[in-house]
Amino acid sequence: MSRLEKVTTGMGEECGVFGAYDMDGGDVAPSIYYGLFALQHRGQESCGIAVTDTYGKRKISSKKGLGHVDDVFDEESLEELKGNLGVGHVRYSTAGGTRVENAQPLVINYVKGTLAIAHNGNLVNAIPLRRELEYTGAIFQTTIDSEVIAYHIARERLNVSKAEDAVKNAMKKIKGAYALVVSSPRKLIGARDPLGLKPLCIGKQGHVYFLASESCAIAAVGAEFVRDVLPGEVVSFTKHGIDSDMSMAIPGEQQARCIFEYIYFARTDSTIDGVNVYHSRITAGKALAESYPVEADLVVGVPDSGLVAAKGYSEQSGIPYGMAFHKNSYVGRTFIKPKQSDRESSVKIKLNVISEVVKGKRIVMVDDSIVRGTTCENIIKMLKKAGATEVHVRISSPPFLYPCYFGTDVPSNEQLIAHSHTTEQIRQMIGADTLGYMEVEKLKDMVGDLSFCDACFTGKYPMPVPGEDISHAFE
Amino acid sequence: MSRLEKVTTGMGEECGVFGAYDMDGGDVAPSIYYGLFALQHRGQESCGIAVTDTYGKRKISSKKGLGHVDDVFDEESLEELKGNLGVGHVRYSTAGGTRVENAQPLVINYVKGTLAIAHNGNLVNAIPLRRELEYTGAIFQTTIDSEVIAYHIARERLNVSKAEDAVKNAMKKIKGAYALVVSSPRKLIGARDPLGLKPLCIGKQGHVYFLASESCAIAAVGAEFVRDVLPGEVVSFTKHGIDSDMSMAIPGEQQARCIFEYIYFARTDSTIDGVNVYHSRITAGKALAESYPVEADLVVGVPDSGLVAAKGYSEQSGIPYGMAFHKNSYVGRTFIKPKQSDRESSVKIKLNVISEVVKGKRIVMVDDSIVRGTTCENIIKMLKKAGATEVHVRISSPPFLYPCYFGTDVPSNEQLIAHSHTTEQIRQMIGADTLGYMEVEKLKDMVGDLSFCDACFTGKYPMPVPGEDISHAFE
Amino acid sequence: MSRLEKVTTGMGEECGVFGAYDMDGGDVAPSIYYGLFALQHRGQESCGIAVTDTYGKRKISSKKGLGHVDDVFDEESLEELKGNLGVGHVRYSTAGGTRVENAQPLVINYVKGTLAIAHNGNLVNAIPLRRELEYTGAIFQTTIDSEVIAYHIARERLNVSKAEDAVKNAMKKIKGAYALVVSSPRKLIGARDPLGLKPLCIGKQGHVYFLASESCAIAAVGAEFVRDVLPGEVVSFTKHGIDSDMSMAIPGEQQARCIFEYIYFARTDSTIDGVNVYHSRITAGKALAESYPVEADLVVGVPDSGLVAAKGYSEQSGIPYGMAFHKNSYVGRTFIKPKQSDRESSVKIKLNVISEVVKGKRIVMVDDSIVRGTTCENIIKMLKKAGATEVHVRISSPPFLYPCYFGTDVPSNEQLIAHSHTTEQIRQMIGADTLGYMEVEKLKDMVGDLSFCDACFTGKYPMPVPGEDISHAFE
Amino acid sequence: MSRLEKVTTGMGEECGVFGAYDMDGGDVAPSIYYGLFALQHRGQESCGIAVTDTYGKRKISSKKGLGHVDDVFDEESLEELKGNLGVGHVRYSTAGGTRVENAQPLVINYVKGTLAIAHNGNLVNAIPLRRELEYTGAIFQTTIDSEVIAYHIARERLNVSKAEDAVKNAMKKIKGAYALVVSSPRKLIGARDPLGLKPLCIGKQGHVYFLASESCAIAAVGAEFVRDVLPGEVVSFTKHGIDSDMSMAIPGEQQARCIFEYIYFARTDSTIDGVNVYHSRITAGKALAESYPVEADLVVGVPDSGLVAAKGYSEQSGIPYGMAFHKNSYVGRTFIKPKQSDRESSVKIKLNVISEVVKGKRIVMVDDSIVRGTTCENIIKMLKKAGATEVHVRISSPPFLYPCYFGTDVPSNEQLIAHSHTTEQIRQMIGADTLGYMEVEKLKDMVGDLSFCDACFTGKYPMPVPGEDISHAFE
């Protein structure tokens, strides 16, 4: 699925988290702003920044809002966010339920002062944990898991002397996927779930430390990449330096990174757990070329997410790589969709075929997924109208068949064409000459030695999951 | 102090609360919207509406925002607020600390479902209560007392079978001023502090019940005024009718209604605890005429809050009542203040003297209070420039001398001219020919037999209060 | 008609014009901003300011927009309007056809540099003049008469050496009502039509000269009122002082000031052509008391426009004056109107009766006009419901019977209740006990010796007018 | 210059024009909206749509505003633009002087009714023409050439019976570059300057005819490309069909298409005068490879405008094509620029190098131009930091050396690095290993047999031009 299709299907992305701590006392809000820009692809519904200082009143200033980073923040509001310690968040968009109350970071006052929490991921035991908390008199003001996490940190904090220990103890209770960035009055804390489902990494520039969902955000603020936070690790940054606690870690072969980060979520210029995303997608393209070779004249990718895999297909197959599409970069959120029943028009406005390139040619068209198939069908029509003699579709992920409980907002089964149709049926429906999906067995080539989670393709979940979809349980 | 001066001094007003429950299942958001309009004078910083239904999913929909009621709500957003049970709130503006997070109603999920709370008033024991809650693991996301109240209701709810009993039990712990409007999944609940510091009343139109801070809001929605909620009373509206619990009530002579509601806060067309506000202000004007008679040609009021007392002065003294001022009703929040050092200009833009009316006349000018004295001084200058030969100032409240702990945001002592100057000194500073403040002893005439709180004038608080100002304790 | 009713009927107001010239070179945009605030009651659709300097590049900076003065301008935009010579405009709202293109001042480049024109009034020969201009190749970009005036000034300017002479020569061609404020590269020019239909006056503060539709705007900027621009006069302000040209003036008894300025348009604190508006309305009230005496207990005015005439009625009749209504000052432009068929609700939200005042009393209710009668009917109902035993309605203007061709946007005949009903029929329809309209013969008492235009009541136009309504001829 | 650099240098783009006429009477505003979306790359400052109908009142409805197409129009405003005949415009952004008054289409009333004009290009004799018009009493309300054109059409229209003849006669007076789309009450008219400096083409879908700056906009609305409007041609569409007038045409070899359309302005999926833009850029890349061969491992393009030429270089040289950059598509207009002196940061946020791709490689980096050189320098630094061992820069246009008088807003000489430095000096300044600019002699290969204008590189203007820059003459 190209990002193009996503807009219409409401397929959700992840969230992005970012944290910064300047040991020299400089303001970190500008860096967080730029860091969130680099993570904007992980969530466009809402965003927020919360900063505090480690030397003065340690009061938290925060601003959150619906929309993109540059919708929510302007120079004046950045100016007002004073402090050398802070966290930021971008949240993905869901079909309904857009509420500013659910924007992160979550900022709380608790027994030890203030806390700001930014969270990427989904807990699988959020419902029983909430219930349990409610039975001790807890009240909830949002529908996000972060509030459950905050309560646990607050309660654990009563028994331990360090905030990072409260985070660690809270991790013993919460189950699921999480990359956490937390600012306590004097510390920046990062934590990653033991399975490593969600990514988190560390950067450094001079006396400033950074935490980010992806390394591209470290690069965007001009910092050096230090290393990934390890699955199960709790890292804390204070004026005394970095501390690490690995007591929640599990053996590497039990870890389960989300393979979809490599296929689709992450930016091509990010490197996660040592595996470069660009490289990973080139590999996927090559695997497709091996699995589904075809005689053709040109390999083209559907912008933007199919481009790299297309390059890989081209490299492996020797078939030249070409640019068949012009994507209109001005089609944004406030674009008014055509009313005509013909959905083709909507695609046309966003994407146009360069006839010169495809005329008279046999085309291999690579994309990262097929959701409902209509966008794919329309693009194939456009290619053929422009003179392509054949269109061979290659998809760089296996078909989605199972729900994700860890934060990937996969469309419901009814919307997923792969759920009720065979590949051959889909091929006919979209009008492709041939169609090949990435083979599940070859996913491992994308990430080298890393162990990963491919439950959305296989149904093999890395931990017990509830029987039904919990993604909107509290709304 | 006319509302004119307030804008520049940041003297706070109360908040306003409103609730509605349609037993026939009709949507109540439009009524709440119109009710809040009628209460807008009680708070302009932020507002909000939260609705639920008593028959279906009992999910709460809410919208809150910074600004006036017509800034925050439009037809589309009202349309989306579906439900036959709801509460609304308008919040007063303070100099700083404007945060959308603090907007009400507070909407929470707790052990028994959802709860929306709108609160007017201030608790005097909020700090120890918060601290106590934090030591049991509570987290706070706002700086408003309502969150403390919510926690207590949630915890009490674990032990009782009815939401109104949880409210009552919470009232045993919270001390201070409160008018509460609460929607639980199936009920609308209203509660008023035992002293009756803050007003609350009941209205009815067909099968719809209303709760409102002032009766003017009942009239605005076209309903009949039923009665005031009594000090210490908890009322609840369900599909079975109204229930009342008076177990928290105290003897009438111990009650302590805020006298400032009658002097300034409330709308002239409201009636609180049986005393009509218009009548009360006429009485104040008459009292001033008795206390400080003077030979003069015309009595004028400073718009809008001095007009009724001026009428009373005129009636008692026999000196004709006149309209000396044109107030520019277009000067709103986004008005750019003049930069000139001369503060007079700012007054001039908002208020102009009709020379024709005052030329060659001895004027009695009535206003409701003097804060810093500069506005008063400027108005007197304008009157004299327009030809008034004498200006005798009469103020319908005694001088502020003590802080209020119950929600009235009186300016700090340094800003209050009365705090460090005698009446004669003030008279000279503002350039009045004579100056008379309402006598504390005559305040009782304004409210008939009701017992009331005049601590801001006398320092006699109706309950133990903390030693220092707590109004911004959590910010 | 109270302003209340206006909102719903779309009865238009005038426009307001303002000009300023600082001989010392100071920026005038802030003064124009405050001047327009004081004229905001003359027009709320759009506004604009255009400034230039008389010493430097003489380039015009301007900003125009839809909305109130404080919607269109903020500190930043005022800051950018640099120049010591400028004009401003507020435009009235019409039902449809709101176009920013029609906002004034009109800013043009022509043979002698730049010109900014602000115009209040309507030409009766705009159509033939436009046609004539078009036949010489003119193009029109707006539907406002100011463009026709601008063309004539530009063409006349080719033949004369002074801009004010071009204005004067243009006045020989244009027929109708106009108060003009024009900035040429080095001069501020004011002109008023020979009949004096529209007001215009001069103010001065130090080295700064002002032109304004009403004297209240002169007062608002802290300047001294100098004198009215005379009907037919052209005044010009240069660095050498003021010049006046009276060659277009006509004898005083032929002049025809718009009587509606005194009845309704102008602010009570303005004085036009020597007659104070407050005084004029007091006189109207007195005339009503003479024409239609009645036994009653209280005289009340409908806020805000009926208040002064009510005072006059009270003074003449000896019946006490009372405040029967609370007007909600927060009901603004973005207010969502109730959907119920019962129009009463809309009135209720804006206006509430203070029962205490009217209970058991016979009321004389004074307003300035009746358009459709529904608002009046609803207010009477409210008074009776609140306990008034009788309601005697007095209207301080005669019934509208004829269209205005000079800029007053009187509702069409179908909307005017007076057009098709007798006074007795109207009395029954609105539910009044008695009803009396201002007698046409007594209008002259309102304005002393001044000759005036009362064509909307009598059909006696002060100049030949076209046979049909021309108010929207170019739209 | 990549579009990236443009943002900071303020280098202007062209404008885009669009027109539509539905012979069956359907509304054309939606099509114009989508057409303008496809032309958005030609101008982002302001846009507008003006529609009329050919059967009813023939009144023009229009909406213009500052910002992108989706900022200015929403569903409601599109809905209100009723009519089967209309024109649209997108305007480029300049550093200052952003005025909504200058937005197009220009909508006028003139002797024959209404006219809406959208214009792309610059007249070289606009100043004398304006002056001449002013001396006959013309007034100007904007600083755009379109107003001069409108006056000429209006005046010519007095002497001819058809609007298209008035356009043709106006063309005899105006000199310079223009693609015009005009709606007269019953016709859609298109015209192109005799040199063909600006593009314009015709499309058709059923009974709807279209005019557009580029063929990509024809494709976006789902229409078929019919043909280009020829240089010097006037085409008109009425209910009777198409008419063409070629009397202003000149011999093909004298024509002078703007070569920069092919190098940079136009979208790669457009075809102008028979030459496909994608193909043209591939050719440019090949020419660079021939002129400046180098031993290297990878050819990369700077997104987005250098990508195609990079592909061409790769094809010709046999060096593999690679994707070295991730461009952040969320960095938009309201992005807050970093305050650090180091300009590198700003580039970093917009563009990031994929180290995996460039590490250890000798890189050929292709871009379309160099303006100040700072962006280029920063990108080279990033490549080297990421491990590139050599960076060979190839620029697909010759150095800018002369001002453009036809509408291309080339930065002033001081800003242009090529103006005061040799290629070798530039190479050193930007830190490239080698640097090669497109050779002027090879430009012709890009456009086949077409004659073109390359004056900005050679100073050989296709018509006499004024001695100084006229681009902001009227501001």
| Residue predicted with more confidence, C133 or A11 | C133
Residue B117: closest CA among chain A residues belongs to which residue? A141
- Asked if pLDDT for residue B387 goes beyond 70, the answer is yes
Q: What is the pLDDT of residue B340?
A: 56
Q: Shortest CA distance to D256 belongs to which of D125, D447, D118, D439? A: D447
Q: What is the pLDDT of residue D30?
A: 95
Q: For a pLDDT cut of 70, what percent of chain B falls above it?
A: 92
Sequence-separated (6 or more) residues with CB below 8 Å from residue D117 = D87, D104, D105, D106, D108, D146, D149, D150, D153, D180, D181, D182
Instruction: Given the residues C15, C47, C201, C216, select the one marked as catalytic.
Output: C15
Q: Is the N-terminal amide bond of D304 cis, ω within 30° of 0? A: yes
- Asked if pLDDT for residue B255 goes beyond 80, the answer is yes
Residue C469 labelled as part of a binding site: no
Band (pLDDT 50/70/90 cuts) for residue B335 is confident
| Residue predicted with more confidence, B410 or D444 | D444
What is the pLDDT averaged over residues B101-116? 92
CB C200 within 8 A of CB C215: no
From the list D326, D332, D355, the residue facing A70 with the nearest CB is D332
Contact state of C348 with B269 under an 8 Å Cβ cutoff? no
Of B234-248, C26-40, C365-379, D5-19, the least confident: D5-19
From the list C137, C140, C151, the residue facing D155 with the nearest CB is C137
Q: What is the pLDDT of residue A330?
A: 86
Q: For a pLDDT cut of 70, what percent of chain D falls above it?
A: 92
Contact state of A338 with D30 under an 8 Å Cβ cutoff? yes
Contact state of D109 with C150 under an 8 Å Cβ cutoff? no
Q: Taking CB atoms and an 8 Å cutoff, what residues of chain D touch C134?
A: 109-111, 154
Q: What share of chain D is helix, strand, coil (3-state, %, to 5)?
A: 35, 25, 45
Q: What is the pLDDT of residue B6?
A: 36
* Cα of C206 to nearest chain D Cα, Å: 33
Residue B353: closest CA among chain C residues belongs to which residue? C269
User: pLDDT tens for residues C188-210?
Assistant: 999 999 999 999 999 999 999 99
From the list B321, B323, B336, the residue facing C78 with the nearest CB is B336
CA distances from B279 to A273, C355, C389 (A): 76, 10, 20
| Residue predicted with more confidence, D447 or C336 | D447
Q: pTM for the complete prediction? A: 0.90
Q: What token pair was written down for D433?
A: 């290993």
Q: What is the pLDDT of residue B333?
A: 67
User: pLDDT tens for residues B32-41?
Assistant: 999 999 999 9
From the list C37, C328, C355, the residue facing B38 with the nearest CB is C328
Annotated binding site of B for Mg(2+): 305, 367-368
Sequence-separated (6 or more) residues with CB below 8 Å from residue C471 = C122, C405, C409
Q: Domain ranges in chain C?
A: 5-255, 277-448
* Cα of B475 to nearest chain A Cα, Å: 8
Q: What token pair was written down for D73?
A: 């129009």
Sequence-separated (6 or more) residues with CB below 8 Å from residue C241 = none
Q: What token pair was written down for C467?
A: 């046979």
- Asked if pLDDT for residue A1 goes beyond 60, the answer is no
Q: How far is Cα C57 from Cα A114, in angstroms, rounded to an integer?
A: 57
Q: What is the pLDDT of residue C99?
A: 73
Q: What is the pLDDT of residue D326?
A: 95
Q: For a pLDDT cut of 90, what percent of chain A falls above it?
A: 77
Sign of the Cα torsion C405, C411, C416, C418 reads: negative
Of A79-83, B19-23, B179-183, D4-8, the least confident: D4-8
Q: Just give the CATH number of D277-448.
A: 3.40.50.2020
Q: What is the pLDDT of residue B165?
A: 97
User: pLDDT tens for residues D145-183?
Assistant: 999 999 999 999 999 999 999 999 999 999 999 999 999
Highest-confidence segment of B367-371, C138-142, D284-288? D284-288
Tokens 């700012």 -> residue: B346
Q: What is the pLDDT of residue D256?
A: 97
CB B378 within 8 A of CB B395: no
Q: How far is Cα C195 from Cα C202, in angstroms, rounded to an integer?
A: 18
Q: What is the pLDDT of residue B2?
A: 40
Q: What token pair was written down for B390?
A: 């004498």
B287-321 in b/e burial notation, b at 16+ Cβ within 10 A? bbbeebebebbbbbbbbbbbbbbbbbbbbbbebbb
- Asked if pLDDT for residue A146 goes beyond 80, the answer is yes
Contact state of C141 with D111 under an 8 Å Cβ cutoff? no
Asked if B touches D (at least 3 Cβ pairs < 8 angstroms), the answer reads no
Of A458-467, B215-224, C290-299, the least confident: A458-467
Q: What is the pLDDT of residue D6?
A: 36
The list of chain C residues with pLDDT below 70 reads: 1-13, 93-98, 333, 340-344, 467-475
Give the ranges where D318-452 is alpha helix by DSSP (H).
344-350, 355-358, 374-385, 417-420, 423-430, 443-446
| In this structure, CATH architecture of domain B5-255 | 4-Layer Sandwich (3.60)
Asked if A touches B (at least 3 Cβ pairs < 8 angstroms), the answer reads yes
CB D414 within 8 A of CB D382: no
Q: Is A15 a catalytic residue?
A: yes
Contact state of C154 with D136 under an 8 Å Cβ cutoff? no
Band (pLDDT 50/70/90 cuts) for residue D474 is low
Q: For a pLDDT cut of 90, what percent of chain D falls above it?
A: 78
